[in-house]
A and B are shown apart, each in its own frame.
Chain A
Amino acid sequence: MYNKVTIIPGLIIFVLLVTFPLWFNAFSTASTVPKVELPPGGEKQCVAPAAEMRASHMQMLNEWRDDVLRNGNRTTVTVEGKVYRKGLQMACMECHTNKEKFCDSCHEYASVTPYCWDCHLTPSLAASKKETH
């Protein structure tokens, strides 16, 4: 092999450069999956198993929305004896009271910006202007 002295270090440098994203991520903490805050009230039961909620809570919220608003079907959902009213503010936020630590942590990681909170109130915001008398 000609020019062994330059080719082999060059190859090593090339491979290191090309795989930079892989080993950089392996050592950095920038991409660790966020740990969401479990309900501060200690509730263990949700309307669906955690995996299902994680994967498809957005579809379920849309179905609830269409049911309540468009079909006028505001009936409650009962899961294992617990009654939930269909609604972000009326069901989800009752247990997951901290939107910043629950919703936002994953949404920021996944780089999604749902527009729920343009209208719907977070518990902390609702408490900020509360009836005082």
Chain B
Amino acid sequence: MDKKRRKFLKVAGATALAGISAPAVVKLTSTPALASSGHGAVAEGQGNSDASHKQETPSGVRLGMVFDMRKFYGHPELMDKAINACNKAHNIPQIDSKKSEIKWIWRAPFNNVFPEHSAYHASESTENNDFMAVCNHCDEPPCVRVCPTKATFVLEKSGIVAMDYHRCIGCRFCMMGCPYGARSFNWFDPRPYIKEYNPEFPTRMRGVVEKCNFCGERLAKGLEPACVEALKEVGAITFGDLNDPDSEIAKILRENHTIQRKPALGTKPSVFYIV
């Protein structure tokens, strides 16, 4: 009897030890990369697949934009022209408050638009000029991942990150998610702050988040986005299908070195800049 109890306690102890340590052992032995960093799997997947750092792009139409910043240097009025065209087309209110302002397309210094790019010994054009910023319509949009009501989503047909204001509950998770500050919240009824109405487009109401929609309503009519059209004669903004090798935008991307905003985040923006 005594012997039996002794044996039982030994076995029970060993089993308990094994049970406690098993998860740790499994974790350590299975994928060593995972144990060291949380994002290891993603980085490894891209790093190992090919050495040229070529990123996988989704197939089908994927609309994008190229800002040729060289044409904006010394011409801030061009930026304002594009911004005003957008404001007019989308009934965007003009609110003089950093907290409450609504912006779909805006201008900001290089450091704010490209915080990941070095501005150490920056060129004069970088130092003295503002840069255009707009919703990047990312391939991997963080705003879409965090939206609890699917009020913001990717339109499969075009790659546009769209908003359905009917569904937005104003939780502002997307504003937290967006690393580009491309989303604005309507803290109050925007109508008193709209200078003139575009009767073809709705306004927004208090309590919804809004952002650039790549002029989906204008594309349906065969028009180009309002900002692109406003600067048509300068040719400073090019809009088109990134996946169509014959499109003007694909040609520009092939021929010029372009940069994107915060590429390290892996959001894969569809907006490019020639600086």
Contact = CB atoms under 8 A, between A and B. Distances in A.
A65 B167 CA distance: 11
A125 interface: yes
Contacts, number: 54
Contact of B216 (A72, A119, A125): A72
Contact of B197 (A65, A69, A72, A130): A130
B205 A118 contact: yes
B38 interface: no
A119 B203 contact: yes
B204 A119 contact: yes
A54 interface: no
A90 B217 CA distance: 11
B162 A121 contact: no
B166 interface: yes
B197 A70 contact: no
Q: Is the interface of B mostly helix, strand, loop or mixed?
A: loop
A74 interface: yes
A11 B199 CA distance: 63
Interface residues of B, number: 27
Q: Is the interface of A mostly helix, strand, loop or mixed?
A: helix
Contacts of A121: 91, 197, 199, 202-203
15 contacts: A69-B162, A69-B164, A70-B153, A71-B157, A72-B216, A74-B217, A89-B201, A118-B205, A119-B205, A121-B197, A127-B199, A130-B196, A130-B197, A131-B88, A132-B196
Interface of B: 88, 91, 153, 155-158, 160, 162, 164-166, 194-205, 216-217, 220
Given A70-B162, A126-B197, 13 more contacts: A72-B216, A89-B200, A118-B205, A119-B202, A119-B204, A121-B199, A121-B202, A121-B203, A126-B198, A129-B195, A129-B197, A130-B197, A131-B88
